[in-house]
Structure 1
C-alpha cells in the first residue's frame, strides 16, 4: 500500500478513524515532543489522546453559548460521567473551587421534536466547562476513563444543538402537553416520517422545517468522507432505519462476545431468547453477562469502579507490563496499586508472601498476553491465589482474543477493546466486559451491574461495530497465519536481535495452558534490531500503514515504546521494554505481498549506519 501522509487518518479518508499516520521515526518523536511540523498536520489522532475535531467544534459552541472567555469544555454522554470528571478534577487539584466549574446537561426539547425514534437513541451530552488552565487535568480524566463522547455522538448531537433541539435541561419548562406524554406534531416529507438514526429527526413548525441528519452537524458535511455514516446506513438498511435494529445489533455484538453467535444475523428479525451455550469454556455464561462500553479503556475503568464498590477501597495489583492507561487508572482512582512490571514467577512469589503475611488486595489486573512484549501471565497460579486469598482477577484479552485463548475460566471479569481485532476496520470504538457466572464475586458484581450499568454506547457506533464484527473469526484465523510468517522472516534475519511473540516467548507454557483447541498465537508481535539506526531505517522504509492502535485488518507498524512511554523510557527499560522496539499488528494481506515488503524493509536496515 502507498504510505499515508503524515497526520492523515488511518485508514485514509475515514472521518472516524481510530489511528493516524506517523510514517517516519522522526514523525513519532516529533509528535511526542510537540513539534509544530508534526502537530500542524494532524487532522486526527488516536481517540482519548487526540480529541476529535468534531468534538472540539461542539465543545467550542457549548462554551460560546454557556460559558465565558478563557474557558474550555469536555463533553460526556451523561450526567454521571460528567460528575465523575468533576470529582476527579477536584481530587487531583483540591485548590479548584466549585464556582470554577460549570455543568450543562444538554437534553432533547420534546416540545420541538416529534420523532419517538430520536428519544430512543438518547442523544444527550453533558458538558463540563472550566478555565482553560485546567484543561490538562480534565484531559487526564478523558484519557484514562474513556468516558468522553464518541466523535459520531458529538457530530450528531452538535446538529441538534445548532437547531435548538438539544438544550440545557435547566431551561426546560414543563407544559401540559409534555407532562401528559404528548409530543407536538408536524407534517414533513414522507422520507422523514419514519424514525431513523440518520434521517429521523422532525422539528415542530415553530423551529423551522429542516430535518437534521447525522452528518449535517459539521461544516465539512459536503465532502465525501464526512458522509460515511449516513451513506452506510442508507445503503445497508435503506433510507429509514428502524431504531429497534440498534438494540438487536447490541444483542448480536454481546452474543458474539459471549461465544454464542459466530456469524451474521438478521437484525430485522425478532431475536431468540437468551442463549446460554457458548464457546467460552464457562458453563452458564449468558449474553446478559456481557456489558458494552464506548471503548476498551472504559470497560477497564468501570470494572475497577465496580470492584471498589463491591469489595471496598483496597489496593489493586497490576501484574505484567501494562497498557499505559490501565496502570494510571489503578494509580489515580482509589487507594493505588502494587505494580509488578515483569509479570514473572518471582513476582508471584513476592505476591504470595505478602498475602500470607496478611496483606489484602482488591483485584489483580493483567493482559493476556501483554503489550508490547507478548508475555503471558501464569493464570492458573493467579487463579489459585485469588481463590485462596479472596481478591478478584480482571484479564484484558484484547490481544489474545477468545478465538485463540480461553481466559474467562480464570477471571472474574474479562475486558476487551472491541476497537481492535473484533472490529478490524479501525473506524469505530467499542469495549466489553464479561462477568464470569462461575466466579466467586459474580453475585456482588452482578447486583451492582444490574443497578448501575449505564449504556453509553452510541447508536451509530453500535451499527458500525455490528457490521464490522460479522466475520471476525475467519479474519483472526488468517491473521494468525500471517503473523507466524512475519515471525519466521524476522527471526531468520541476522540483524534482528529478538522477536517477541507468544509462541516463542519463555512464557509460552502459560499461553498454551489457555489456548483453544484450534487457537493460534495472535496477530501482534514485536522485535528489536541490534541498534537504533537499523530500527529507524526499517521503520522508515516499510510500506505499511504506520500509526498507533492494533488489531486492524491491514498491517500496522509502530515504534510503540516511543509513542506510549516517551517521557519514561528509562522506567520502561527496567522492565525489559526497549526504547527501540518495533511493534507489528499483522493484517489480512496476501502472504507474498507481506513477505516482499518486509524483505525490502530488512534490506534498508542492512544498509543503515549504526
Structure 2
C-alpha cells in the first residue's frame, strides 16, 4: 500500500466488497482531494461511508424512481417507510418552502396486492422523496444526520422488484402490472415471522419451484443467505447487546439461552426487551432524541465533550437547539450546574464514553447525580468503549451504540442500537412512546450479516485491547509526536476506570497529534494499514480524522483542542509484533530527530 497508494484511491474497504462501509483514501493528499471534491479522487470512488456517500446501488434505484415519478431534472432520496419520508419532507419545508407543493413530493412504493400477499407477509416497501437535483444538499443533510436512509442491500432487492412490476406506487396497487416470474407472486421469506411462541424458528414458506423472491435476488448477486431467519438473527443480536451472551456462540445456541439469564449489564429489571435496533448508529441517536422530545417536551439538550459531528448537528437542527460544552471539562460541568441551579431546564445531556477522537471520558457519576437532582435524561454513546470494556448503563437513561463498528467488525454492514435503563426515572414513559413510534427498519439481510459478524465479538475485543495498548506505547515514545490520546493515559482515566469492567480493557481506538503537519503527512503516507473512514474494524484502519470530519471548520475544531494534523487509529486483530513493526516503519519515515546541538547549528 505504501509503495503505490495511488492505485488504491477509491477502492472499497474491505477490497472487492459490494456493501463495504469504508473506502480507501491512502494518502494525506487523497483525503484533502476528497474533501475538495477533486475529480481525480471523487471520480475513482467505488463507494464511501454510507451516510456521507450514497451507495451506487441506491443511486441507481433513486434515479429509476425519479425518472418514473418526477421531472427530467429530479432525483430522489430513499427511505424505508412513509413516516421517515414525511420527516424528510418536513425538513425540506423548513429549508426550502418555495419548492412546495410542486417540486418536492413523496412516493410510496408498495407490493401489488395482485401477488396475493397477506397483510402480515408482504414484500418490503420503500418511500422516495423526489426533488430537483440542484437541491441535493438539503436531502443529503437529512439523510446524513438522521441515519434513516435505506441500506444498499435493501435498495438492490427493491430495485429488482420495482423493475419486475412487483413494487408499485401506492395508488397503482391492485392493478395488474406484474412483469416478473411466478416466483414473485408469493410472499417472500424476508417477511415470515421467524420466532414462534416457543422461541423456535418457523420455516419460511417456499415457492412451488423452490424459490422465493428474495432467494432469487440472492442467487442473482451470488449470495447464500436464508433471510427467513432474520427475526431470529435480530433476537440473537439483542441478546448480545443485552449482555446475555458472554462467549462466542452461534445463532442456534444464542436462541436456546434463557432470556433472563445472568448478564454483563447488571441493572435490576433489565431485559432484551429494552434493546431496540436501528439501521445505523446515527439513526439510534436521532430517534432517541426524537423519542425524548415526544415524551418529555421541547427543551434544549446539552452536548458534553467534543462529539462525533452529526450528534451535535442533530441536537442543534432538530428541535429547540443545544448547549455545547466542547471540552468535556469539570469547569464546564460547574457552569452547567449553575445554569441548572438558576432554574434553566434541559431535556437531556448527550455524551460519548470515551469521546472521539480525543478519547476523553466524562464524569458519568457526577452527571448522573445532576440528572437525578434536576430531572434531565442522560444519553451515553458507548460505541468507542463498548459494553465488554465498560458498564455505563447504570449512569444513563439511554445507551446508544453504532453496531457498524466493533460489534460487527467486518466493515460490510450498518446497524445501531438504543438500550433503555429500566431504573431510569422516565423509563415507563419512554417505553410507551417507543411502543407507538418505534419502527424496526433494520433490513433482514443486514441483520443476517450483523448476527454472523458479531458471533466472535467477545474474543475479538480482548485481542484488540492488547494491540491498541501496544501501539499506544510505541507512539508515546517518539519525540516527533506531540500527544497520544488513549483512555489509559488520558487525564480523565479515573472517569473511565469508574465504569471499566473488572476484565475490560481500554478499547481499540487512539489518536496522535504531531509537532508538524509535514511529519504527520510523512507518517500517514508511509503507514501500511488500511486507510479510510469508520472505525472498529477487524483490521487496523487509519485516518486523518479531523480533515475528514471537520474540513470546513478546522479552526473551530482546533479551538477545542482537536488539531488538524491528528491521525486516528482503529486497531485491529493483526499479529502484535507485525503491527508494531508497521508503525515503527511509518515513524522512521519522518526522518531522524534533530538533537539540540544540531538544531542550534
User: For the Cα contact (< 8 Å) 1:276–1:286, is it kept in 2?
Assistant: no
**Partner of 1:146 in structure 2?**
147
| Residue of structure 2 equivalent to 1:405 | 390
Contact 1:112-1:204 within 8 A present in 2 as well: no
Work out the CA distance in 2 between the residues paired with 1:556 and 1:215: 35
Give the aligned partner of residue 178 of structure 1: none
1:51 and 2:36 correspond = no
How far apart, in 2, do the equivalents of 1:465 and 1:597 lie? 30
Alignment-derived partner of residue 565 in structure 1: 550
For structure 1, the 5+ residue unaligned runs are 176-182, 234-240
Matched, 1:429 2:414: yes
- 1:337 to 2:340 alignment: no
> Helix, strand or coil: the match of 1:100?
coil
Cα 1:595–1:161 shift into 2, 3 Å: same
Matches within 5 A, 1:350-429: 350-429=335-414
Structure 1 residues 129-138 or 383-392, which shifts more?
129-138
Q: Which residue, 470, 474, 477 being the options, matches 1:485?
A: 470
C-alpha contact 1:195 1:242 (8 A) present in aligned 2 = no
Q: Could you tell me how far 1:441 is from its partner in structure 2?
A: 1.2
Correspondence 1:294 to 2:279: yes
1:540 to 514, 518, 525: 525
Alignment equivalent of 2:298, drawn from 306, 310, 313: 313
Unaligned runs of 5+ in 2: 193-203
The C-alpha deviation readout for 1:20-43, integer Å capped at 9, x for no partner, is 000000000000011111111011
Q: Cα–Cα, structure 1 residues 211 and 66, in superposed 2: closer, same or farther, change >3 Å?
A: farther
- 1:35 is matched with which residue? 38
1:99 aligns with 2:102: yes
Runs (4+) of structure 1 exceeding 3 A deviation are 1-4, 118-122, 185-189, 192-205, 209-217, 265-274, 607-610
Summarize deviations over 1:412-463 as a string: whole Å, max 9, x none: 0000000000000000000000000011111110111112110100000000
SS, match of residue 533 in structure 1: helix
Moved more, 469-478 or 102-111: 102-111
1:304 aligns with 2:289: yes
Residue 369 of structure 1 aligns to a residue whose secondary structure is coil
Map of 1:236 onto structure 2: none
Deviations 1:517-543 (A, max 9, x none): 011000000001211111000100111
- Does the 8 A contact of 2:245 with 2:254 survive in 1? no
**Aligned twin of 1:251:** 235
Residue matched to 2:23: 20
Q: Distance in 1 between matches of 2:130 and 2:346?
A: 36
Shift in Å, 1:284: 1.6
1:210, distance to aligned residue in structure 2 (A): 9.9
Alignment of 1:63-78 (within 5 A): 63-78=66-81
- Counterpart of 2:344 in 1: which secondary structure? coil
Please give the alpha-carbon distance, in whole angstroms, between the structure 2 residues aligned to 1:94 and 1:187.
45
Question: What do you get for the CA RMSD once the two structures are aligned?
Answer: 2.8
CA distance in 1, matches of 2:217, 2:396: 44
CA distance in 1, matches of 2:122, 2:583: 46
1:211: how far off?
6.8
- Aligned partners of 1:493 and 1:557: how far apart in 2? 18
SS of 2:588's equivalent in the other structure is: helix
Give 1:60's match in structure 2, choosing from 63, 79, 85.
Answer: 63
The 1:195/1:170 distance shift into structure 2, 3 A limit, reads closer
Q: Take 1:174 and 1:437, find their aligned partners in 2: how far apart are those partners?
A: 48
- Structure 1 residues 353, 553: closer, same or farther in 2, change over 3 A? same
Deviation at 1:135, TM superposition (A): 1.3
Following TM superposition, by how much is the alpha carbon of 1:198 offset from its aligned partner in structure 2, in angstroms?
A: 12
SS in 1 for 2:50: coil
- Residue 93 of structure 1 deviates from its aligned partner by 2.7
Contact (CA 8 Å) 1:533, 1:608: kept in 2 or not?
no
Residue 155 of structure 2 is aligned to residue 171 of structure 1 = no
Q: Distance in 1 between matches of 2:84 and 2:347?
A: 23
Pick one of 74, 79, 83 that aligns with 1:80: 83
Aligned to 1:179: none
Superposition deviation, residue 196 in structure 1: 4.1
Q: How far 1:120 moved relative to its partner?
A: 3.9
Q: Would you say the 8 A contact 2:189–2:206 is kept in 1?
A: no
Answer whether contact 1:249 1:267 (CA < 8 A) is retained.
no
Deviations 1:236-284 (A, max 9, x none): xxxxx361x1111100000000001233244499656632632112122
- Counterpart secondary structure, 2:32: helix
Q: Distance in 2 between matches of 1:18 and 1:121?
A: 29
CA change 1:98–1:481 in 2 (3 A) is same
My pick for the range that moved more, 305-314 or 85-94, is: 85-94
Cα distance between partner residues in 2 of 1:133 and 1:195: 38
Deviations 1:457-476 (A, max 9, x none): 00000000000000111101
Cα 1:423–1:187 shift into 2, 3 Å: closer
Matches within 5 A, 1:266-285: 266-267=251-252, 271=256, 274-275=259-260, 277-285=262-270
Tell me the TM-score normalized by structure 1.
Answer: 0.90
C-alpha offsets along residues 389-425 of structure 1, whole Å, 9 cap, x if unaligned? 0000000000000111000000000000000000000
> Which deviates more from structure 2 when the two are superposed, residues 538-547 or residues 272-281?
272-281
- The structure-2 alpha-carbon separation of the partners of 1:198 and 1:493, relative to structure 1 and needing over 3 Å to count, comes to farther
In structure 1, C-alpha distance between the alignment counterparts of 2:501 and 2:254, rounded to whole Å: 32
Change (3 A) 1:378 1:98: same
TM (normalized to structure 2)? 0.91
Secondary structure, counterpart of 2:40 in structure 1 = helix
Counterpart in 2 of 1:469? 454
Question: Per the alignment, do residues 607 and 26 of structure 1 end up closer, same or farther by CA in structure 2, a change over 3 Å counting?
Answer: farther
d(CA) in 1 for partners of 2:548 and 2:512? 16
